[in-house]
Structure 1
Amino acid sequence: MAANSHSSLGEEASANKHEVALAVLVGLLVMLTISWYKRSNWSTGKGTPPLPPGPKGLPIVGYLPFLSPNLHHEFAKMANQYGPIFKLYLGSKLHIVVNSADLAKVVTGEQDESFANRDPHIAGLTASYGANDVAWQNNNANRRNLRKVLVHEVLSNKNFEASHAYRRSEVRNTIKYVHDMIGTAVDINEVSFSTVLNILTHIVWGKGFVEGAKYPDLAADIRKVVLAIVETAEGLNLSDFFPMLARFD
């Protein structure tokens, strides 16, 4: 009796496992079918919104497996095939690529209010303290105020004209420094960064960046911080393509 009982329990457990596996498989097939149906309707104009043409890609992962590191080359090829505006899915996220100067002018100029909101990736959110800057923040009152400050304090014609002599002097000093270093190794990235840092601080604060005895390597330290921020901000995580997998970032 005991042997028969254990045997029947084992068969029942095995049957339950098969039922669970079958249910999961059916669920995945249903999700893939719905996803394919929506994409198909959108691409043919039957759904909302109508989408431009683009490569099909694969279920779930989209066009991710086919992208090469040189995205600008990939997009140029796609533009030749699909036109100056096309779509592609990267994971579960839909992307619309604008690949012409005329369309870019429409998006960033004539229709700026419609396209101004951002969809920052996780690293961008981290580097900007939760999209609290001009680059990643949505188009709201705070971002508009930040843009006004940026334009008024840094990018205005008045500031550029006032700093013209200083900018020219800094560039000449940089050229002279590089010329005087003929025959020795020169880190052009570091030299150009220091030049730009001096110019920007002069425009914003009215004086160039001066390293004192207390912080003799401050420019190099700032460069390290900026490079670290850029490295963080350009990083990609799973949730950038599959939001449901954020826990694995």
Structure 2
Amino acid sequence: MDTLQFTLSATLFLLSAALLAIFTTKRRHPPGPFALPIIGHLHLLGPKLHHTFHQLSNRYGPLIQLHLGSIPCVVVSTPELAKEFLKTHELIFSSRKHSTAIDIVTYDSSFAFSPYGPYWKFIKKLCTYELLGARNLNHFQPIRTLEVKHFLQLLMQKAKLGESVNVTEELVKLTSNVISHMMLSIRCSENEGEAEAARTVVREVTQIFGEFDVADIIWLCKNFDFQGIKKRSEDIQRRYDALLEKIISDRENMRRSCGGGGEAKDFLDLLLDVMESGKTEVKFTREHLKALVLVINYEVVK
């Protein structure tokens, strides 16, 4: 009996201390509307989010906290606060939210969605000084000029025939040809079958990255695939992996047949040199290479 009384007393004491701490602790979170269990403030969001945020900021102030399901978010509504978040404290708030689709499709190795740190800085330096460096940009200037001429010739031909042109689609082809030649020494238009398959995959990536996935928002649903996004992501990743694996394997065979030496002729050669050297300050694997190629193409199409 004494043991039971001691246990009850200790339990009451701990509960009292917890409640006292809750009610006496100074509130440090931004204000916001009352959140419902599980869904948070999802019920308040309308089809036009900027209108919803404007209405909430008029009521609760320029800095408010919302819970999108299980995810806490902060909404700022003035230029001064936006500067604090995006410039003054940029490193704290610069990371992007991951999703199931992003992790699966990018081998959980995405540069665009990785947090600020050694890997992000390494890839940024690699892209800035190699892919987008002055030497490579000058080296590939004839490629860009040629592709622009092809684009203008197509417009002129269509104009003479009085036919319509899907400018968006042709611009995507233009940028795809330039980027794929710089990265992989492949001109998409020369192999329309593989090129269309690659463009289809990238378009599907662009779409699925922007879809709302309830499993990423509400923690009770994290182990379920109600919308089939996980299954679709795995299918996209499988098809993309098969396309790029063939390109990488062919290039590796060619490098071996040539003795593996010589100057890198495109970004793929450079990445293979980095991967094979094993002397990088961060881990860089075949999956990192594939994810980087995908993200660059994704940013172009987006």
- Identify which of 133, 136, 141 aligns with 2:113: 136
Q: Which amino acid aligns with 2:124?
A: R
Say whether residues 1:201 and 2:160 are aligned partners: no
CA distance in 1, matches of 2:38, 2:81: 29
CA contact (8 A) 2:64 2:75 kept: yes
Instruction: Name the larger-Rg structure.
Output: 1
**Of 28, 51, 57, the match for 2:29:** 51
Residues 131-182 of structure 1 deviation map (CA, whole Å, 9 limit, x = unaligned): x111222233222211211222344466556656754654454244234324
Q: Quick one: distance in 1 between partners of 2:186 and 2:37?
A: 55
Instruction: Name the CA distance, whole Å, in 1 between partners of 2:217 and 2:130.
Output: 37
Q: Which runs of 4+ in 1 moved over 6 A?
A: none
Q: Give the 3 Å change call, closer, same or farther, for CA 112–203 of structure 1 in structure 2.
A: farther
Deviation at 1:222, TM superposition (A): 1.8
TM-score by length of 2: 0.55
CA deviations on 1:222-243 (whole Å, 9 max, x unpaired) are 2101011122222332232222
8 Å Cα contact 1:190-1:220 kept in structure 2: no
Q: Evaluate the alpha carbon distance shift between residue 69 and residue 161 of structure 1 in structure 2; reply closer, same or farther with a 3 A threshold.
A: farther
The aligned counterpart of 1:87 is 65
The reply on whether 1:97 has 2:75 as its aligned counterpart is yes
Q: Is the 8 Å Cα contact of residues 181 and 187 (structure 2) preserved in structure 1?
A: yes
Structure 2 residue 91 is matched with structure 1 residue 148:
no
% of aligned pairs identical? 26
Matched, 1:247 2:234: no
Aligned residue pairs total: 204
In structure 2, how many angstroms separate the alpha carbons of the residues matched to 1:172 and 1:115? Answer: 42
Which residues of structure 1 form unaligned runs of 5+?
1-33
Match of 2:206 in 1: 230
Give 1:100-115 correspondences, 5 Å limit: 100=78, 102-115=80-93
Whether 1:68 and 2:38 are equivalent positions in the alignment is no
Find the partner of 1:126 among 92, 104, 111: 104
Please give the per-residue CA displacement for 1:89-142, whole angstroms capped at 9, x wherever unaligned.
111221112445554444344323322444412222222222x11122223322
Unaligned runs of 5+ in 2: 1-17, 226-302
The CA distance in 1 between the partners of 2:65 and 2:149, in whole Å, is: 46
Q: Distance in 2 between matches of 1:105 and 1:202?
A: 38
C-alpha RMSD of matched pairs (Å): 3.5
- Counterpart CA distance in 2 for 1:102 and 1:176 is 48
Match in the other structure for 1:221: 197
Equivalent position amino acid for 1:129 in 2 = Y
